[in-house]
Structure 1
Amino acid sequence: MATYYHPAGEGLDIGGDFCDVFPLDDGRWAFLLGDVCGRGAIAATTTALVRHTARAVAPLLPGPEDVVTAINRALTNRPDSHGTGFVTLVYGQLTPTPTGLDIELVRAGHTPPLHLDTHRTARPVDMPGVLLGISPHSHVTSRNVHLWPHESLVLYTDGITEARRPDGDMFGDQRLADAVSSAAGVPAAQNVIEAVTQAVHTFTEGDDIDDDQAILVLTATEPQETPAAPPT
């Protein structure tokens, strides 16, 4: 696992991007990455509400859909003084297996994660799901992904894909996928981070970013025994 966070501007104001990874009681792990509308103290309050709700309810509920529904309920029930902005989120749970990692995840209005496979191809893992904190009905659907050894799941915020260079051109989804695919070697997760951040820095010609950037990379490692070959 590897993470990256770069605040916008000089980093003097609290940003809206956040991520978290924590263990569950049965050998699984929970992870989340998201973006809160706005900045400053209100954004920090909303970020804390999302993370604390997830940590509190995840051990008690069956799966990601239920956890995200609980987070949405907490957001729609917050007092107006604690903010009324929306939240985008990817939340999932992973289980180590003899052949890698089984992952169940939910996307709620967030940028689609990328699955980097054994052929070094990065494809979006898309699934329906609306923004959180807008309606009491979350309408999310989970998706299952298996990571074979050396495969990765890459979560990121839109500060990456919407980074712009001086002429206004945007980094975009395809450049991100190309950067993720170019990462190679061990440790794989950190190499993906470095490939993406270097590609963004080169594209923007080193200009200061105007939106927070966050990345979370989960990579399956080699098991103790040789697994069956992944499907071709």
Structure 2
Amino acid sequence: MYKKTLLTLSVALLFIGVAILPITAQMTQTEDIALQETNVIEKFMDNVERIASESQTFSEFSQKLQDLLLNSEFSKFTIVNELVAKMLQFLTTEKGILGSGINLLDLLGRFSTTLRPSYFVISYGAYHRLSPRKENSINRFKEGLSMWRYSDVSKLLKGRTLILERHPFGIHQKMIGPQVGFMKGFKGIYLDIESRLTGNAYVLFLGSAHRIRTFDLTPLKK
């Protein structure tokens, strides 16, 4: 009787194990894709920071940013390609430019001339759609005071912000990890895009601001 019960239990466990294998494999595959997505986005930001440090003027930076956005290396990845497409689409719509021959340098140059902003910012964070609460948040941007916050709860990637001063051109401030930021007079784009492959969502904003400052929240965690 004991042996029969043990045999039945063993067979049941075997069937359970076989049933779980596909689910485990699918979870592993999704995690691998999520890792690839975050690595590409972080590499993109690394390149933005690199060209900012190498550029002597905002016009030079804008031209290099345009080249970076059109880089085939990033367009191979769906989520990054979608972010790039949304950025270009928004800028084109805002300035009422139709047809081909989009030039990001000209668009950003017109923003600078018309609005006379002091700073240029690019920032991103991430969270998971199925989470009961967002790990990062960005308030609806207005021309008045806008605010963003990135916590260290997200397991996808660390929030990251790069602020550039236009005149004289250079990196004004950069922040990686838990942070809260405020800005005034923001003009630009705000994106909240979900990856169809992983369910992860990425938030990104890019544009000009009259005043802007981000603060490190890491000391509050200690």
Same fold (TM > 0.5): no
Q: Which has the higher helix share?
A: 2
Q: TM-score, normalised by structure 2?
A: 0.30
Please identify the structure whose Cα radius of gyration is greater: 2
Q: TM-score, normalised by structure 1?
A: 0.29
Larger relative CO (CA 8 A, sep 6+): 1 or 2? 1
